[in-house]
Chain A
């Protein structure tokens, strides 16, 4: 009687197979969500840069004129109140200047090519910390992932490739042996990825509710209606700058003995 060799999976092996499937689905979702989070971050940074360069610097200029007006008024009046108002106006102008000319204003426009997106996806797929087999591996992945996020934000494909290379050349992660160990490892990964997905959701929600995101949404909606809100704002602030400049000129000419 021929005996058919059928390999019956033990309940534990069946569970492992199911969980591996679940893990694969979660890993794919994780990659997508990491990509959209990175995109959102980079788009916001790019918009912020543009906004600061176009409108922010004009606000800073306006604040500077207002501080000058307050300072010359304080000089004329000499009262403590006027001096306090002037130093407050100057502090405000300094803050605006620092913000408008700071690091954030240098963010370049973000328009990643499909290749760059694909490359970043590969990086996430291979080095995401939540795929780590052990703590040493995890530490390495954490560092590389942070670098990859920055590289993607500045659209640096070479850096992304280097990061991939670096990870590939690190020693292969050791797999656990035995079904029980495997199942435990898979369950641990599922737990980590679920946690990370929840974190991503929270970060996306936070970013979407941020001031710069709300401003960007407004500007984008207006763009679809054929309005350029940033240009309109620039015109407004420029007008206010002209008024302030005139006011300052009038004020100082009044003060000087002729």
Chain B
């Protein structure tokens, strides 16, 4: 082999080593991007939960007094229908209208209150959509994050911020449940138990319910206790087992 050939051979080797080096670097870059995506997904989750947290738990407080009932009826677009629903006769309604005139609080005030409720409802819907968008963005970045899977599934299941779609919810619940997410396991059990978004399957329902209960999920423990007590979901009635699971729930509740 001449010196020239030797040199060339060495050069080729150096070049391919350099290429591998470039490839290794691009894999490192990819790994860093991957981790950044996962962090961003966590951030979307945090934001989505923050939005949920900020939502008022009830938008329509139950009317507390007769006055509020009457206000609600008279403020509605169809007081006759509302009165009928409440079991009021037309005479009662007339009396109520008379009474209302002498009450503090005018029709204008009632209407204003309804307007406020409409605005609140709109805001509420917007917040639900915002939370859903956050979960969706996060899920796109990290499709196996169990927390994001669970919340996205929940949004579909309850139709929070998106058209309700149980068929879409079930596989998402399942992927979170398979990773040990106990709330997802409990929900998946419900879906199987009631045939929501998936064919009814009591064996599956019990299997997931038990997994969640054994992980200490209080809701699942309660449902499992009920299943034993009343022999639901094809479970053999068993007062002793029911008592064991009820006690776990009670102990947990007592600690809180």
Residue pair A48, B23 in contact (C-beta under 8 Å): no
Given contact pairs A59-B30, A239-B144, A215 touches B23 in the complex (Cβ within 8 A)? no
**Chain A residues, CB < 8 A from B38:** 232, 236
Distance of A48 Cα from B108 Cα, bound (Å): 73
Q: Does B19 interact with chain A (Cβ within 8 Å)?
A: yes
Assembled-state Cα–Cα distance A212/B27 (Å): 9
Q: Which residues of A contact B17 (CB under 8 A)?
A: 103
Q: Is the CB of B32 within 8 A of A211?
A: yes
A226-241 toward B: CB 8 Å interface, digit per residue (1/0)?
A: 0001001101110110
Smallest CB separation, A142 vs chain B (Å)? 19
In the assembly, what is the distance between CA of A27 and CA of B61, in Å?
80
Q: Are A214 and B32 in contact (CB under 8 A)?
A: yes
Chain A: which residue is nearest B20 at the CB level? Answer: A102
Of the residues A95, A104, A212, A218, contact of B35 by C-beta under 8 Å: A218
Q: Would you give the shortest CB distance from B85 to chain A, in whole angstroms?
A: 51
The answer on a CB contact under 8 Å between A48 and B28 is yes
Q: A103-B17, A239-B143, A239-B144 are in contact. Are A215 and B32 (CB under 8 A)?
A: yes
Q: Is A95's CB under 8 angstroms from B31's CB?
A: no
- Chain B interface size, as a band, is 20 to 34
Complex CA distance for A215 and B144, rounded to whole angstroms: 21
B24 CB contact (under 8 Å) in A48, A214, A229: A48
* Chain B 1-32 near chain A by CB (<8 Å), digits 1 or 0: 00000000000000001011111111111111
Q: How far is the CA of A99 from the CA of B31 in the complex (A)?
A: 13
B199 nearest CB across to chain A (Å): 22
CA gap between A99 and B38 in the complex, in Å: 24
Judge if A52 is at the interface, Cβ distance under 8 Å: yes
| Bound Cα distance A240, B34 (Å) | 12
The reply on B142 being an interface residue by CB < 8 A is yes
**How far does the Cβ of B224 sit from chain A's closest Cβ, in whole Å?**
29
Cβ of B22: which chain A residues have Cβ within 8 Å of it? Answer: 95, 99
Residues of B within 8 A of A (CB): 17, 19-32, 34-35, 38, 142-144
Given A102-B23, A211-B32, 5 more A-B residue pairs with CB atoms under 8 Å apart are A56-B27, A98-B20, A102-B20, A102-B24, A215-B31
Main secondary structure of the interface of B (DSSP, over half): helix
Tell me, rounded to whole Å, the shortest Cβ–Cβ distance linking B26 to chain A.
7
B28 contact set on A, CB distance < 8 A: 48, 51, 210-212, 214-215
Would A233 and B35 count as touching, CB distance under 8 A?
yes
Does A66 touch B at the CB level, under 8 Å? no
CB distance from A235 to the nearest CB of B (A): 6
Residue among A99, A104, A210 having the largest count of chain B Cβ atoms under 10 Å: A99
* Complex contacts, A59 vs chain B, CB 8 Å: 27, 30
Chain B proximity of A90: nearest CB distance (Å): 14
Q: Which residues of A contact B20 (CB under 8 A)?
A: 98-99, 102-104
Q: What is the minimal beta-carbon distance from A107 to any residue of chain B, in angstroms? A: 10
In whole angstroms, how far apart are the Cα atoms of A240 and B140 in the complex?
12
**Are A55 and B21 interface neighbours, CB within 8 A?**
no
Bound-state CA distance A218–B32 (Å) is 8
Is B34 a contact of A233 with CB atoms below 8 Å? Answer: yes
Q: Which residue of B lies closest to A47 (CB)?
A: B28
Considering the chains assembled together, what is the distance between the CA atoms of A100 and B25 in angstroms? 10
Q: A31 on the interface (CB 8 Å rule)?
A: no
A-B contact pairs, 15 of them (CB 8 A): A95-B23, A95-B26, A96-B23, A98-B19, A102-B23, A104-B20, A104-B24, A210-B25, A210-B28, A211-B28, A212-B24, A212-B25, A233-B34, A235-B144, A239-B144
**A211 and B25: CB pair below 8 A?**
yes
Contact B27 A99 (CB under 8 A): yes
**Nearest-Cβ distance from residue B86 to partner chain A, whole angstroms:** 54
Q: How far is the CA of A237 from the CA of B34 in the complex (A)?
A: 10
Which residues on B sit within 8 Å (CB–CB) of A235?
Answer: 144
